[in-house]
Structure 1
Amino acid sequence: MSWIVLVISGVLEAVWATALGRSEGLTRLAPSMTFGVALVLSMGGLAWAMRELPVGTAYAVWVGIGAVGTVGWAMATGQEPASALRLLLVGLIVAGVVGLKLTQ
């Protein structure tokens, strides 16, 4: 169950990071509210997962999922360029996250 909560929390990290970028310095209400709610839920889920998972592993997986989700969304929506090199580097992050899960 901790892994499921951790993955959901990582996805919520991508949500709050994207919302923060769209909030224009927390001046737009809807993205700012999305940021706040997703941040609290993401951190809460991370804290809950860390009750059973090692801190280093949980944090690395959480950050990795959030980073891949954020950059993936930005590339899919055209906000950031997608190139073969960038996709390879994102793939390496995914491989690291999967590797951490497999060693746990």
Structure 2
Amino acid sequence: MSWLLSFNPWVVLVVAGLFEVMWASGVKYVGVQRPLISLGVALALAASMVGLWAATQKLPVGTAYAVWTGIGAVGAAVVGIVVYGEPATAVRAVCILLIVAGIVGLKLFSGAH
């Protein structure tokens, strides 16, 4: 997996965050009766972890972890609203925007590439 280290660590981190959204959004459907969904969730989880590992080889671990979990949290919240019909309140939207602001701030002020 050393080939992964040749990519821009921020790109790798964003892709890992998208895999984080995939497994977090699908985990509610995991079970013996749904083996393909369970396999997909497991593969997305593994891809997410590998991407986080690769990103932390070049970025500060605290920054990478915060951005990774932030992408996962925002993405899962948006999937919950759009796909699963979860509440889309103004307060929830503001909280999601605050997480996005934190992710952008970490990118801009982390001192890494």
TM range (shorter): over 0.9
Runs of 4+ in 1 over 3 A off after TM superposition: none
Which of 89, 99, 102 pairs up with 2:105? Answer: 99
Q: Identity rate of aligned residues, in percent?
A: 47
> Unpaired segments of 5 or more residues in structure 1?
none
Q: Which runs of structure 2 are paired with 1:10-49 in the superposition (5 Å)? A: 10-23=17-30, 26-27=31-32, 28-49=34-55
Which of 49, 52, 57 pairs up with 1:51? Answer: 57
> Unpaired segments of 5 or more residues in structure 2?
1-7
CA RMSD of the aligned region, Å?
Answer: 0.9
TM-score, normalisation: structure 2? 0.86
Task: Give the aligned partner of residue 68 of structure 2.
Answer: 62
| Count of residues paired in the alignment | 102
TM-score, normalisation: structure 1? 0.94
Q: Relative to structure 1, is the Cα distance of residues 66 and 102 closer, same or farther in structure 2, using a 3 angstrom cutoff?
A: same
Q: Whole-Å Cα distance in 2 between the matches of residues 21 and 84 of structure 1?
A: 25
The structure with the largest alpha-carbon Rg is: 2
- The residue type equivalent to 2:23 in the other structure is W
